[in-house]
Structures are given as C-alpha cells and as structure tokens.
Structure 1
Amino acid sequence: MVYTGPRRVKTFVSGLDEQIESGVPVGTVNIVSGTPGSMKSSFAYNLLYHNAHKIGLRGLYISMEQDVESIKAQMNRLGMAEKTNKLIVEDYESLEKKLATSEFQKIKFEHDWISRIRMYLESFDRDAVDLLVIDSLDALYALTDVENPRKELFHFFKTLRETETTCFLISEMTQNSDKFSKFGVEEFLCDGIIHLDFKRTGTILARLERYIGIIKLRNTNFSTQYFPLQHVEGRFKILTGEDLEL
C-alpha cells in the first residue's frame, strides 16, 4: 500500500520517530512544553540542526531569551557545532536591529512583539524557511500586552500556518502544573504538544531522569507512553520497553 498521509519532519531523537509515524507532520504548529531544565531548547535545536545537516531543510531559531553566541556555545557543548548556513539563529537584539531597517518599515514602529513576529514571518518567501522555533512563548508574552489571548493567539497561529513552515513553540511549565501553556488556549490552537519532564530518583545520591511524551499530534497515530529521554555522545534517544528489559 502506498503511504498517502502527510509529509513528515524527523525529530532525530533515536526511537521517537518510530512512535509517531516517522515524524511530525509538515506545516503544523507544535508546542514543546516543560519545566526549566527539561531540555526543551536543546530538543528543538537538535531537530533543526540535524534536519539542516542531513536533510538540507532550512531552519530559523528565534530566541527571545538567550543571545546568539550563548545558544551556539551551549549547543556546541552538546555536539551540535555550527557547520551550515541552512540554520539561522536570531536573538532579541539581532531581530530588533533587523526590524529597524527600511526593509521592514511597517514593522519598525510596532511595539507589540507578537505582531512584530507575525509581520516578520509574513515578509518571508514561502520557500525561505522550512522549520521554525520560537524560544519562548513566555518571553514573547513578556514583551507584549496580551489583552485578548484567544483572539490575538488565533491570529498568531494562523500566521504561522500560512507560512507553511513546521513550527515548534517552546512553552514554560511550572512544577506540578497540568497546563502546557500560559493561557491554555494555545493547547487548542496547536497541532501538537510535546512534553518534556524529569523526576528525581534515589535518596542519597539522587539524580534526574528525563522523560518525553506526546500529548497531542494531529493526523498521527502515536504512543501515549512517556519514554526515558537521554542525551548520549551528542545524540538524543529514548528508551523503549525493549531497551529497559535488556
């Protein structure tokens, strides 16, 4: 039988793509959610990095929190050294300078950062970017007076879909919360929710164990299990039941 489902983007987490029909559907808007320290940014950057190097997809990573050099240094330590021009990293400062140029005349006087990002993305050619990460939604909200979350985020997510890029929006969770986003409406608007979590094990020599679970992924049959997530020798991988039995 010929596969007629949506085209997909690999996560490049060993073992995970097999749990989600080989990857995330192309052109979808997905939330990557978790508490601080759960490796959300590293997971998202890993996806862009390996798709750029191995598949040739063009990625744009927009960080509203860390500067470009800090991000690159962090990812270099995780085995993702910069080697290609197909992955562009922008931070708040570099984006601010870019939006102040005459090319973005309509944007330069806009102070609402959700609107600024929308207008910036609308300026792209359709084939300019294949994959987009925004890190993070919470930082973006801190720069925006969100008076009507449902309305404003509806238009924001609509713009993201119209770019036809596959988007990953990082969202901060608080400990012991069951909300994957600040306002909650994001969880209905998005196509997928990827949850990264960790717990402390042991008593005397305690250590952290990280987990990853797929909460939502439209047009995809996916496992509802949470899998142990490891980063070993520059690669992310999950442990399945078979691995744990060995």
Structure 2
Amino acid sequence: MVNKSESDSDKNPKVRFYKPERIKTGVPGLDNLIEGGIVKGSSLLISGGTGTGKTVFCLRCLWEGLQSGESCIYVTLEETAGDLRRDALGFGWDFEAYEKKGKFKFVEKNILEDTNFEFFDVDKMKASRIVIDSISLLSLVVEDKSSMRGRLQELVKSLKERNITTLLISESIDEEHLSILGIEEFIVDGVIHLKSMPMGKMAQRTIEIRKMRETKIDEGIHSMEFCKNGIKVVG
C-alpha cells in the first residue's frame, strides 16, 4: 500500500538531498559567501580593472588546488611565466616546485588556436583547475571578432565536459560592462567583480559575486585586501 502522505522528495532522496560538489578557493572569507566554494567543473569570469587583484585571486585559487592534490594550469597571454612565478613567490607560493612534479604548468599561448587542448597536456595532466589570463587580450589577438563568441562558448563547453573548473580573467569597462566584448559574462556559470577605488592615499578594494549557478550567493559588496598570504575578504 502506498503511503499517501509520502512526498515525491521522500520517494526520491537523490533529488531532495542533491548537492553539487564544491572546491575551495583558498581566499579567506570568500567561500562562506558562496555556500562553501565554487561548484566543481563550473566556469567563472573574474572581472575588474587594473590593480584590482584579478591575477592574485586566480593564482590563489590554483595554489589551493595544488595543496589539495589537484593538477592545475595557468594560461597567460599578457605576463610572462617568469613574472608570475616571482609574483607568486612573494606570497609564499612556489609554483615551480609543482611544475617539476608535473602537477602544474604555465602556458604562454593563444588558447583559442587549439580547443583540443593537446598543446598543453590538459588531458595528460588530468587538470582540474585552469586560469585563462586574459579573455580581454584574446579579443585583441583574434582577427575574426564575429566568431569570438562561438569560440569562447566552445572553449567553456570543452572544459566543462572535462569537469575542469575554469577561471576567465577579463578587464571590466564599468559597472554594467564587465568584459571587453560584452559577451563573456553570459557564457559562464558565475561572475566575480573586483574593484579598487581611491580613498585618500589608500585604495579601497571590494569583491562582489554577481552570479553563480547552483549557488545561493551573498549579494553584498564586501571589502577585500591584500595580505601576506595573498588576498582576503574582510567584511
């Protein structure tokens, strides 16, 4: 006999209790704003102006992955791998040690030239986190602007199929335009906006989670500051 008081969710506990797997960002104060971390395999746009902390934010997320035993990749079209290594060492992050172990790789190449990703061993490394720095610069080196949206969508889709968490760095123009092309924020699962505003002789840095799929987010604007271990959300 069927218990009429039994709800559909009671009959199907998988639906009732489903929770996506999440990964830690490593940024103190951030994960509790996004239900404990980023959904594994999702894509995020990290948007902000010059000096807002986009690169440090992304390096910190990759460093957290390495500490958890993951393999990670940083694709850079702007800064050299050497500069990034030195910047990271300033926070105590020795990426070169993980490069020697085959767990990490800097790639200095236009990622849209080969969306099979064979040129930087994403499948061979079994990478679980990747940063692309930056989508804004890609828009300058790709001649056919009309195909840019489709190629970006293909890129995000291919990485998602591999269950790779992807952070796409982009320069924001203003509050309403978080990317150069104006399309990036619509093809990703989440958007994090970083800002830096002059406050006398100091700069007031903030972080705002604009959207994040499968996540109940804190929609406020929170203070953020650089510290000896990278960056942290402080309020």
AA in 1 matched with 2:107: E
Tell me which residue corresponds to 2:194: 196
Find the partner of 1:68 among 81, 86, 99.
Answer: 81
Decide whether the 8 Å contact of 1:31 with 1:170 is kept in 2: yes
Q: Rg: which structure is higher?
A: 2
Distance between the aligned counterparts of 1:235 and 1:114, measured in 2? 27
Conserved? CA contact 2:31–2:37, under 8 Å: yes
1:131 to 129, 132, 141: 129
The verdict on how the C-alpha distance between 1:21 and 1:227 changes in structure 2, with shifts beyond 3 A counting, is: same
Task: Spell out the pairing of 1:209-228 with structure 2 (5 A cutoff).
Answer: 209-228=204-223
After superposition, the Cα gap between the structure-2 partners of 1:153 and 1:210, relative to the gap in structure 1 and judged at 3 Å, is same
Matched residues in 1 for 2:27 and 2:225: separation? 9
| Structure 1 stretches of 4+ moved >4 Å | none
Alpha-carbon deviation of 1:127?
A: 6.7
Give the alignment partner of residue 71 of structure 2, picking from 58, 64, 70: 58
User: Given residue 179 of structure 2, which amino acid in structure 1 is its aligned partner?
Assistant: S
Q: Higher mean Cα deviation, 78-87 or 9-18?
A: 78-87
Structure-2-length-normalised TM-score: 0.84
Q: CA offsets, 1:19-77, max 9 Å, x none?
A: 10110101111100000100101100111012202x11111001111111111011111
Q: 1:235 to 1:115 in 2, by over 3 A?
A: closer
Instruction: Pick one of 101, 117, 121 that aligns with 1:120.
Output: 117
Cα displacement (A) at 1:114: 5.1
Q: 2:177 aligns with which of 159, 179, 183?
A: 179
Q: Is the 8 A contact 2:132 2:169 kept in 1?
A: yes
CA displacement at 1:178 relative to structure 2: 1.9
Q: State TM-score, norm by structure 1.
A: 0.80
What one-letter code is carried by the residue in structure 1 that aligns with 2:127?
A: V
Aligned match of 2:6: none
3-state SS in 1 of match to 2:204: strand
The one-letter code matched in structure 2 to 1:219 is: E
Shift of 1:228: 0.8
Corresponding position: 1:159 with 2:158: yes
3-state SS of paired residue (1:171) = strand
What SS does structure 2 have at the residue aligned with 1:119?
Answer: coil
Identity of aligned residues (%): 27
Structure 1 residue corresponding to 2:104, chosen from 75, 81, 87: 87
- C-alpha root-mean-square deviation of aligned residues, in Å? 2.2
Segments of 5+ residues of structure 2 without an aligned counterpart are 1-12
The CA deviation string for residues 77-117 of structure 1, in whole angstroms up to 9 with x for no partner, is 1222233232222223xxxxxxxxxxxxxxxxxxxx45424
Mapped to 2, the partners of 1:10 and 1:192 lie a distance apart of 15
Of 25-34 and 136-145, deviating more is 136-145
Give the corresponding residue for 1:232: 227
2 CA distance for matches of 1:164 and 1:127? 13
Matched position secondary structure for 1:36: coil
Report the count of equivalent residues. Answer: 215
User: Unmatched 5+ residue regions in structure 1?
Assistant: 93-112, 241-246
